[in-house]
Amino acid sequence: MNNVVKKGFSRSDAIYSLKQAIDGGLIDGSVEADFSNTYYFDLHDITPAGHQFIDSILEDTYWNKVKKVLKEEGIPITVPSITRTIAKIFL
């Protein structure tokens, strides 16, 4: 998690994104938090849906189309919004 913070993302952004990826079925894993808001992640693997998600944004032109739609519609870039936009545009 420290490497993510060093690259310009806040710790809370990283936690939120990882929780969304788990909840969205992109990563096989679980997350728990204790009373002091310390998060514990148990990550196993990328799911088939996670691989499809990665494949769908690997080609730069696809990713640029997704970002353009999100920006035009004023939608924040999150795992669920990216997934919905990919489905809307390409499926």
Return the pLDDT at 81.
Answer: 83
Taking only the tens place, the pLDDT of each residue in 14-53 is 788 888 889 989 899 999 989 998 889 999 999 998 888 8
> Backbone phi, then psi, for 47, in 5-degree steps?
-80, 170
3-state secondary structure 22-41: HHCCCEEEEEEECCCCCEEE
Phi-psi region of 46 (alpha: psi -120 to 50; beta: other; left: phi over 0): beta
Per-residue pLDDT, averaged over 56-79, amounts to 83
